[in-house]
Amino acid sequence: MDKKMETIVSLCKRRGFLFQSSDIYGGLQGFWDYGPLGVELKRNVREAWWSDMITNHDELTVREGAPTTFQMTGIETSLIMHPQVWKCSGHYDLFHDMMVDCRESKKRYRFDHLRGRWGEHEGRRLFFTTIESDDAGFDQVNAKALKVFGMKKKYLDKISWETEDMLPITEIGSFDEVVAPDVDEPGTLTEPREFNLMFKTVIGALSTEEEGTAFLRPETAQGMFVNFKNVVDSSRVKIPFGIAQIGKSFRNEITPRNFTFRSREFEQMEMEFFCHPDASRDWYTYWRDRRYAWYVNLGIGSDNLILRDHTQEELAHYSVGTADVEYAFPFLAQGEYGELEGIAHRGDFDLRSHMEGKLVREDDCLVVQNDEDGKPKYKGSGKDLSYFNDQTRERFVPHVIEPAAGADRATLAFMCEAYFEDEQPDDKGKMQKRTVMRFHPKLAPVKAAVFPLIKKEGMPERAADIYRELKSAGIAAIYSQQGAIGKRYRQQDEIGTPFCITIDGDTAADDTVTLRDRDTLDQVRVKTSELVDEISRRLRV
Ligand code: GAP
């Protein structure tokens, strides 16, 4: 793992942002627990999304870049849904990755994650693989080749490599000459096989597997589609409008990795925006640009963030256009980006699938997929999910624009972006390394730390009063009186607290405190009576 990433992972554990799930039992791969600070950070990420989408949405004003005004509403749907949902959505048949097993190491790999290059020595030609696409991959492949060819490191240049780059294993025909990542001999990989990523469970104590099989949802999106009619019938929404949801999703990833980036249990923040087909392209552009701007406004530098339009080959089976917001995570090689969010134009695929049955694309048209007897392979609900516009008297099946974000990936990106090292003088004026998490104030888990300079002369009591005032104003504050003041500042910098408040000898005389800014390190005197307003003002940026 990259050095910066290793430092962030260790800070996360040391300061209580993130722990491996079931840590005391050695952990469970692909599952993570958020600690006392992590839970606040992630809550703030969710809250920033929800307030942008729902709470602060103004349905009377046309937002910049939007074609018209629109309405937004929230929903919370169950983790386990009717199994037919996943048949009609396409997940039952299509939501799989190709995997290969290693007969020797008993390890399983995602086929498209294996990379390697051909190396030849004394007439023996083998394809050496690794699962990493970053620079460490070359060291691993070199070391493996030396071992298999029975050579010492100094003879590395005696191996002739067919390519400079690592090639995807998907381009290799036969596996007889492939050396798997964790063994020292060729020919141990099985042929690639499909592996469905949905977690299975059985409903009800008396159910047999056959009749009671259900799935943990692999996305929150289907909860919005199957409730489209309920929402239209029960609320005053009119098209165009969006239904938003935040909740857990589950995918039995073959190779969970890169900290929380690819987990088996994770949280999504998804919104399905229902609009007239004729306006759908304009809405797609609007949501694509707006969602990119959300990350920038919360502090992700545009150097590290890209908006990438999918090529035709990349598009999901239902999509007529998709763009990804991608971030340059430190665990990726220079110039590579990892997906934070996909914004997809899904057309009428989902609503029609839940009405008519699972659809497939034929000659650029969506048609119901039939079985050998010419009957729908998976029957839809048969319910009418079209929309009637009572002003234009038009009935149509709405098109959908879907911005689908991951709360854990966004939280990880905000942590990576916030991580910063500099040098600052300590209490004795000596320069010391400082680690600072420069979270946007809205995201910082703790907003203000209150310190009495010393533990006497009434300072702790006055500091405790100020701490209580901040708390009762809804500002996440902490109180600390342990250690030298410089050390207390550094502890707060490391967890990203934007403001520190120190109560000192002058406080009793003029009722002012020192307010220190984490990023500029400016220190100003503020009247205690104005402190709550001042911090609230600074938090509203
Ligand atoms: N409804 C569309 C959908 O689910 P997706 O691209 O598969 O689209 C949306 O997922 C977002 O969910 C991703 O951009 C990512 O942020 C997050 N996500 C997906 N799989 C994940 C995983 N295994 N671990 C963490 N986050 C994941």
Asked whether residue 268 is assigned to any structural domain, the reply reads yes
pLDDT in the model for residue 133 = 59
- 249 burial (CB, 10 Å; 0-12 / 13-18 / 19+) is buried
Q: Return the structure tokens found at 181.
A: 């990542």
Q: Identify which of 339, 343, 349, 401 to mutate to test ligand 1's pocket (most ligand atoms within 8 A of the CB).
A: 339
Mean pLDDT in the chain? Answer: 94
pLDDT digits (tens, 9 = 90+) for 89-125: 999 999 999 999 999 999 999 998 899 999 999 999 9
Report whether pLDDT(75) > 90. Answer: yes
Q: In angstroms, rounded to a whole number, what is the distance separating the alpha carbons of residues 455 and 362?
A: 76
Beta-bridge partners for 265: 250
- Rounded to a whole number, what is the largest CA-CA distance in the chain? 90
Single residue among 195, 210, 225 that ends a domain in this structure: 195
Do 102 and 89 fall into the same domain?
A: no
Closest CA to 189 of 169, 175, 172, 174: 175
Does the Cβ of 340 fall within 6 Å of ligand 1? yes
pLDDT digits (tens, 9 = 90+) for 168-195: 998 887 899 999 999 999 999 999 999 9
Do 132 and 257 fall into the same domain?
A: no
Say if CB 235 and CB 73 are below 8 A apart.
Answer: yes
Do 221 and 90 fall into the same domain?
A: yes
- Under the banding of pLDDT at 50, 70 and 90, the label for residue 1 is low
pLDDT in the model for residue 134 = 57
Do 11 and 152 fall into the same domain?
A: no
Whole-number CA gyration radius for the chain? 28
- Under the banding of pLDDT at 50, 70 and 90, the label for residue 382 is very high
**Which amino acid, 117?**
R
Q: In angstroms, rounded to a whole number, what is the distance separating the alpha carbons of residues 9 and 200?
A: 31
**Which amino acid, 342?**
G
pLDDT in the model for residue 173 = 79
Do 215 and 79 fall into the same domain?
A: yes
Report whether pLDDT(283) > 60. Answer: yes
CATH code, 83: 3.30.930.10
Say if CB 314 and CB 331 are below 8 A apart.
Answer: no
Query: Which ligand 1 atom is nearest residue 264's CA?
Result: 23
Q: In angstroms, rounded to a whole number, what is the distance separating the alpha carbons of residues 448 and 514?
A: 12
Say if CB 149 and CB 124 are below 8 A apart.
Answer: yes
**Which of 9-23, 182-196, 200-214 is least confident?**
200-214
Report whether pLDDT(290) > 90. Answer: yes
- 409 burial (CB, 10 Å; 0-12 / 13-18 / 19+) is buried
- Under the banding of pLDDT at 50, 70 and 90, the label for residue 348 is very high
pLDDT in the model for residue 363 = 78
Asked whether residue 103 is assigned to any structural domain, the reply reads yes
Closest CA to 169 of 161, 181, 159: 181
Do 237 and 180 fall into the same domain?
A: no
Do 177 and 130 fall into the same domain?
A: yes
- Under the banding of pLDDT at 50, 70 and 90, the label for residue 506 is very high
What is the 3-state secondary structure of 349-362?
HHHHHHHHECEEEE
Do 314 and 207 fall into the same domain?
A: yes
User: Tokens 């394809």 map to which residue?
Assistant: 127
Say if CB 415 and CB 39 are below 8 A apart.
Answer: no
Report whether pLDDT(136) > 70. Answer: no
Say if CB 294 and CB 52 are below 8 A apart.
Answer: yes
Which of the pair, 364 or 51, is modelled with greater confidence?
A: 51
pLDDT digits (tens, 9 = 90+) for 517-531: 999 999 999 999 999
- Under the banding of pLDDT at 50, 70 and 90, the label for residue 490 is very high
Do 476 and 509 fall into the same domain?
A: yes
Those residues with Cβ within 8 angstroms of residue 521's Cβ, 6 or more apart along the chain or in another chain: 424
Asked whether residue 439 is assigned to any structural domain, the reply reads no
pTM: predicted TM-score of the whole model, two decimal places: 0.91
Q: Return the structure tokens found at 328.
A: 């340059």
Domain that holds residue 38: 3-95+198-345+408-414
Do 11 and 68 fall into the same domain?
A: yes
Asked whether residue 182 is assigned to any structural domain, the reply reads yes
Say if CB 73 and CB 244 are below 8 A apart.
Answer: yes
Say if CB 69 and CB 60 are below 8 A apart.
Answer: yes
Report whether pLDDT(338) > 90. Answer: yes
Query: Which ligand 1 atom is nearest residue 339's CA?
Result: 14
pLDDT in the model for residue 365 = 86
Query: Which ligand 1 atom is nearest residue 268's CA?
Result: 12
User: Residue 68, SS3?
Assistant: coil
Q: In angstroms, rounded to a whole number, what is the distance separating the alpha carbons of residues 246 and 270?
A: 6
Does the Cβ of 409 fall within 6 Å of ligand 1? yes
Does the Cβ of 224 fall within 6 Å of ligand 1? no
pLDDT digits (tens, 9 = 90+) for 295-313: 999 999 989 999 999 988 8
Q: Total domain count for the chain?
A: 3
**Which of 155-169, 205-219, 378-392, 484-498 is least confident?**
205-219
pLDDT in the model for residue 427 = 75
Q: In angstroms, rounded to a whole number, what is the distance separating the alpha carbons of residues 116 and 137?
A: 8
pLDDT in the model for residue 12 = 97
User: Looking at residues 480-496, what average pLDDT do you find?
Assistant: 95
Q: Identify which of 113, 197, 219, 291 to mutate to test ligand 1's pocket (most ligand atoms within 8 A of the CB).
A: 219
Query: Which ligand 1 atom is nearest residue 251's CA?
Result: 23
Do 10 and 66 fall into the same domain?
A: yes
